[in-house]
């Protein structure tokens, strides 16, 4: 299956950075992998208007379509301005905004309702890994945050070990392989053949220097990139590594 390289800009980025998005889009004229950038909300519309080769996404949405929820944005509002993917359940939101698996599931359903693709993030903390609970944590997160209907079109799963995010620490290849193979097995046993092509991204300190090795690991179908997606030259190198690995 084709790989997906998605950039999560988090709370970084201003109007000037549309220039970087255009540069990445130009590079992706003939890339073999799929590419997406999820900038902060205020850039989504302009980013969408300025791109033709890459997809634009969002980093969060509300569970409802509309209502008296000051400061919130719905999945439908995001798709209206061009978001084709929406990240849900990122560990920063699970931590900073007390988002539970139940909330993540409702958000995933909201993304599906709006016709976009949900990038559902799961991953263990360092304490959980040390206590050898990684696979049980992943299982619980998938059981509770994924809805009844999951297809390769409506859902991407992102495995992001919390301890690897923004730290420069990357799990050993065997650890990534084990987690991704476990996730693949869970999807197959829960959703059957239809889930066979659901992409499983790795996220956490992906850089231009380690992307090639990460993309060579079985069941790694792409990456969710934070810090390195803010530097267009680095992000383009990661895109090249993904294309070359296919």
Q: In angstroms, give the least distance from the CB of 225 to ligand 13P.
A: 5
Contact 43, 7 (CB under 8 A): no
Binders of ligand 13P among residues 3 to 42 (CB under 6 A) are 8
* 166 touches ligand 13P by CB under 6 A: yes
Q: Are strands 4-8 and 34-38 parallel, antiparallel or unpaired?
A: parallel
Contacts of 168 (CB under 8 A, 6+ apart): 205
Q: In angstroms, give the least distance from the CB of 65 to ligand 13P.
A: 25
69 as an active site residue: the answer is no
160 as an active site residue: the answer is yes
3-state secondary structure the chain: CCCEEEEECCCCCCHHHHHHHHHHHHHHHHCCCEEEEECCHHHHHHHHHCCCCCEEEECCCECCCCCCCCCCCEHHHHHHCCEEEEEECCHHHHHHCCCCHHHHHHHHHHHHHCCCEEEEEECCCHHHHHCCCHHHHHHHHHHHHCCCCCCCCCEEEEECCHHHCCCCCCCCHHHHHHHHHHHHHHHHHHHHHHHHHCCEEEECCCCCCCHHHHHCCCCCCEEEECHHHHCHHHHHHHHHHHHHCC
* 165 touches ligand 13P by CB under 6 A: yes
The rounded distance, in Å, linking the Cα atoms of 198 and 32 is 18
Listed ranges 125-133, 141-149, 184-192, 218-226: which one lies at the site for ligand 13P (CB under 6 A) = 218-226
Residue of the chain from 20, 99, 109, 160 that contacts ligand 13P (CB under 6 A): 160
Q: In angstroms, give the least distance from the CB of 231 to ligand 13P.
A: 11
Q: In angstroms, give the least distance from the CB of 167 to ligand 13P.
A: 7
Residue of the chain from 39, 57, 161, 203 that contacts ligand 13P (CB under 6 A): 203
Binders of ligand 13P among residues 223 to 242 (CB under 6 A) are 224-228
Residue of the chain from 13, 39, 89, 204 that contacts ligand 13P (CB under 6 A): 204
Binding track, positions 173-202, relative to ligand 13P; x by CB under 6 A: ------------------------------
Q: In angstroms, give the least distance from the CB of 194 to ligand 13P.
A: 26
Q: What is the total count of residues that contact ligand 13P (CB under 6 A)? A: 14
Catalytic: which of 90, 112, 124, 128? 90
Which lies closer to ligand 13P via its Cβ, residue 155 or residue 205?
205
What amino acid positions are annotated as catalytic residues? Answer: 90, 160
Residues contributing to the site for ligand 13P (CB under 6 A): 8, 90, 160, 165-166, 203-206, 224-228
């Amino acid at each position: 299956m084709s790989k997906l390289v998605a950039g999560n800009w988090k709370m970084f980025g201003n109007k000037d950075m549309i220039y970087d998005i255009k540069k990445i889009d130009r590079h992706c004229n003939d890339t073999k992998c799929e590419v997406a950038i999820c900038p902060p909300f205020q850039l989504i519309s302009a980013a969408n208007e300025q791109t033709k080769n890459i997809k634009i996404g969002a980093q969060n949405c509300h569970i409802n379509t509309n209502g008296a929820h000051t400061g919130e944005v719905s999945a439908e509002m995001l798709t209206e301005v061009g978001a084709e993917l929406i990240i849900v359940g990122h560990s920063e939101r699970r931590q900073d905004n007390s988002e539970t698996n139940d909330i993540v599931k409702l958000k995933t359903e909201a993304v599906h309702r709006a016709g976009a693709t949900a990038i559902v993030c799961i991953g263990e903390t360092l304490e959980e890994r040390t206590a050898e609970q990684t696979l049980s944590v992943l299982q619980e997160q998938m059981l509770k945050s994924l809805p009844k209907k999951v297809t390769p079109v409506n859902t991407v799963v992102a495995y992001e070990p919390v301890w690897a995010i923004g730290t420069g620490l990357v799990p050993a290849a065997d650890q990534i392989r084990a987690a991704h193979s476990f996730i693949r097995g869970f999807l197959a046993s829960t959703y059957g053949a239809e889930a066979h092509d659901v992409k499983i991204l790795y996220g956490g300190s992906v850089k231009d220097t380690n992307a090639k090795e990460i993309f060579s690991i079985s069941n790694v179908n792409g990456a969710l990139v934070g810090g390195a997606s803010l530097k267009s030259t680095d992000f383009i190198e990661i895109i090249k590594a993904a294309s070359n690995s296919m």
